[in-house]
Structure 1
Amino acid sequence: MDIVHHNSGAWDQQSKQGSRWSQPVTSKEIEAARNGEWNVILTPNKNVPHCWFDSLPGKNLLGLASGGGQQIPILSAAGARVTSFDNSQEQLDKDQNVAQQNSLEIKCIRGDMANLSVFADNHFDIIFHPVSNVFVQDLRPVWQECFRVLKNGGRLLSGFMNPSFFLFDHSHADKTGELKVRFRLPFSDIDDLSEQEVQSLVDKNVPLEFGHTLEQQIGGQLQAGFLLKDFYEDDWDDESTPLNKYTTTTIATLAIKLL
């Protein structure tokens, strides 16, 4: 199965249906960002510390799998020179629509986050990469490509799922409210679910997911050459998962490219 192609179409559908991550910011929020009043998120709830960006005005920033008309237009309005790179054309269109409505300059390119070959080496000052690598089978090329396209001293701001999330049978939890450990890590929809369960996801055009270990997430960044500078955890909400009552479900990291 072509995972990249399937997830592209699945996210197009989610975007059209107005998922939480597909609701564009308002012109009022854009104007506030122009005046220095802004916040963005890598994870569901916590705002990213402004110090993680060092400074934004004039910086060349890549929004990696961050489409949807939310974070990218805000970062553009705050002064960054922004490129949005996403696997979903619908999500990119929302970035572009907000840009056109508010006289922002945002370059939008559709593609796979594991292949940034359209960009030269040492091209960006900042990469902003919210929770999204859950839709990628192999993280190694993602981190390697991020390292390649960042300038020396560049910053990689990433959000990702807490691996513990994927231990549980969330389909069972949705039906019963009971958290039941079912899977080993790392997790893969296509390898760990039954054929019938996978086919049901495909038929419903639901994005296919992969639960990566901390070694793959944090160790992968370090192995690509990054140095880890900061870290925080975040929760979600009880409606999204009953696991939220017991532990944080997402993680954010700030990594630096130093040669």
Structure 2
Amino acid sequence: FQAAIEGKWEIKLTPVKYVPHSWFGDLHGQNSQRGWPADANLDCLGGKMHSPGLYSDQQLESERLVAEREGYDIDIVKADMTQPLPFADESFDMIIQPVANCYVEKVKPIWKECYRVLKKGGVLLVGLDNGINYLFDSEDEKYVVNSLPFNPLKNPDQMQQLEKDDFGVQFSHTLEEQIGGQLEAGFTLTNLYEDTNGEGRLHELNIPTFIATRSVK
């Protein structure tokens, strides 16, 4: 937190690479201790570290305690990102979503809601799974054991795999859904990069399994 106050901060949307600072634009406000504009509103949607979509009550309480301890203001909202978001139109300057869409079956409605709650010129930063991980066995990543799409609600064998590995319920998505869905919602794609798992055989072979995108309303 102290480093962030001094302007030394990094954010990951995917396992390995940091988001370029240029993707955030000018975050320095004259009245801000934290390097954020005094009037900026940010929504952190559905990620493991920031999540009005997937957090438990205990995790949300931890967020509140840290904010109280460090002396910064934060609005914590527990909601379901597969449903209409509990925010007014054009409420946010930026939405940050680490890889989380893999936990929902349908992603296009999420992009439409993100577009609705962002202000004109607002930025959407998202980490996306490109589906390759779901093809391979989870132990050694040597064998193709699944076809796509990976949907455990429609394929009992895939649900059994997830239960065995304690991975929760996950879904693969096409680039048409992930990137095309953003464009369909009205966003303009301004940048992207690929990333790997950070460990395992696919990572060692430098096979990209994730994509980070920057889109603007």
Q: Is the 8 A contact 1:122 1:152 kept in 2?
A: yes
1:43 and 2:43 aligned: no
1:62 and 2:43 aligned: yes
In structure 1, distance between residues paired with 2:79 and 2:166: 19
Structure with greater helix share of residues: 1
Secondary structure of the corresponding residue to residue 33 of structure 1: helix
Q: Is the 8 A contact 1:67 1:95 kept in 2?
A: no
Tell me the percent identity.
40
Q: Which string of whole-angstrom CA distances, capped at 9 and with x for unpartnered residues, describes residues 194-223 of structure 1?
A: 28716x72x986410001011111111111
1:1-259 → structure 2 map (5 Å cutoff): 30-56=1-27, 57-58=36-37, 59-68=40-49, 85-89=52-56, 90-170=58-138, 174=139, 177-194=140-157, 197=160, 201=163, 206-238=167-199, 241-246=200-205, 247-257=207-217
- Counterpart code for 2:214: L
**What's the offset of the Cα at 1:178?**
5.0
Query: 1:196 and 1:151, CA in 2 relative to 1: closer, same or farther beyond 3 A?
Result: closer
- State the TM-score, normalized to the length of structure 2: 0.86
- State the TM-score, normalized to the length of structure 1: 0.73
In structure 2, distance between residues paired with 1:231 and 1:250: 10
Query: 1:215 and 1:130, CA in 2 relative to 1: closer, same or farther beyond 3 A?
Result: same
In structure 2, distance between residues paired with 1:242 and 1:192: 26
Q: Is the 8 A contact 1:159 1:250 kept in 2?
A: yes
Query: For structure 2, which runs of at least 5 residues remain unmatched after alignment?
Result: 28-35
- Counterpart code for 1:212: H
In structure 1, distance between residues paired with 2:26 and 2:59: 26
Q: Which string of whole-angstrom CA distances, capped at 9 and with x for unpartnered residues, describes residues 77-134 of structure 1?
A: xxxxxxx523222332332222122111111111111224310011101000011111
In structure 1, distance between residues paired with 2:159 and 2:183: 38
- Counterpart code for 2:124: L
Query: For structure 1, which runs of at least 5 residues remain unmatched after alignment?
Result: 1-29, 73-83
Secondary structure of the corresponding residue to residue 3 of structure 2: helix
Number of aligned residue pairs: give it: 205
Query: 1:178 and 1:120, CA in 2 relative to 1: closer, same or farther beyond 3 A?
Result: closer
Secondary structure of the corresponding residue to residue 191 of structure 1: coil
